[in-house]
Structure 1
Amino acid sequence: MRWSPPSLLGVFAHPDDESLLAGGVLARHAASGARTAVVTATWTPGSHRAGELADALHVLGAGEPRLLEYADARVPESAPGRPRFIDAPLDEAVARLVRHVRAFRPDVVVTHDDYGQLTGHPDHVHTHRVTLLAVHAAGLEHLHPEAGEPWQPGSLCLATHPHSGVGELGGLLAGVGKTVRSVPDERVTATVDVRPWLDRKWAAIAAHRSEVERRRSLPGILSRLPADARGRILATEWFTRLAVRPMPGDPADPGGLTG
């Protein structure tokens, strides 16, 4: 039986996280015919960053923005009248995400690692927590029954950086006062070479124009680098896979994130 690529749902804190952390994998899966989509915890429809997110997702082939519509912890105007994501009732945030998981029915969910992927932004860390809870809750019929028919993703993959993979990026982040939180190499279960999709990944990152204009943001830092240096930093994506249930498909590549 011919193996088909697993469907992939990214869940990230802010517009641009999807492109920076999993843009290559999203582009690869979309190019192979897999269904892909992204849920973003913060910002609201009609905001400039939601518009930039739409452009980035178009580049990656990941459909339209799916927003939880909470405020960024550091930008309260990102969702007027809404609580900051980190302040919202936990069960409410989980239920909102469960609705998206059940509607899209992904085989694989990708999100931030326990540290919040390198810089430890509080929204990144909280997205990890909420996603972990929502992935399990989505498969339980008596949890959030109002959110649709139960669906259990096969695996949860945490976008991360091993100690050995920080390289040039560590110095660049330190240069703007940001702390680097990487993990021991043995915690990484999938290392993906995304060089064939590098142009598309960078185009998606660059679509977040307001971030490219900021000096301390990662898109802004990357935009000021020579193309070859930027390529070295963006050419590999790392993940820690957590099994949720057995998933049909290629037993050598259950998460669709290796090779």
Structure 2
Amino acid sequence: MNFRKIQWIFVIAFIFLDLFLLTTYLRQSDAITLMTDKSDANTTTAILRNIKSDRIQYGHVSDEHSKGYYVSAPVDNSLRHETDKLHNQTTSFEDNILQATFTTPIKVGQTQQAARKKLASLLADSSMILHGDKYAYNAHLSSKDVMVYTQKFYDRPVLFKGGQIRFNIHDGYVDSYSQGYIAKYNTLREEQVTLSQERALIWLYQYKKITSDSTVLWSQLGYSRLLKANGNRIYIPTWTFAVKNNVSGVVQYRRVNAFTGAIFNGDDNNITK
């Protein structure tokens, strides 16, 4: 047997050896990934079981992930220069939030359906509401006494009073409202993946932000204010949970940074109050 034939035999042998080792590695890697995924699933199932055993009711929660942005918006005071367009109301400002009281209260009816229909026509009238077409009704934030309309960033509601209109309703009449307006905004970074609703609930539970004997009334992924810097407000995707204590009846609003899982401390009055 000559040297060249021996060379080829070794080359072919090394190729088969490499293929064997590669196949073995890939199988082990797939097995490790499967075990990790199974372990994570088991851990999630165990935590959800603990939540239920603590008499915390939450309904269905999704394990699907969404995407979002860091958003920057300059502090806007353009409404101050447009109030002369408004009729049948007196206005003032508090922290760039327009506070308006109707000279003659407007009848909207006793039902939410009737009120929404009337408010839709009100929002379409620029002599009554400024930039009303920029807001959409938010059922989660609304009640029989306050109906809330929010602006949106990339199809997600702004869960901060700086991007909301809140109509105050008494006995079938809207007598006043507050309005925050974000005229311009832009993204600071590329789109990023957000936590799932399920994972956000688990974070709240593990950080003891949901107590036993509670009910999660609703949860929503939207944009909340993170900080204010250099004349701009920075907003991030946030999971907001409305949690009712079944003993006291008190409802608190818990927020989770949908990028990092960090918990916002305190009960944020900027959400609905």
Instruction: Tell me whether the two structures share a fold, i.e. TM-score over 0.5.
Output: no
In our comparison, the structure showing a higher alpha carbon Rg is: 2
Structure number with higher strand proportion: 2
TM-score (norm 2): 0.28
TM-score (norm 1): 0.29
Structure number with higher helix proportion: 1
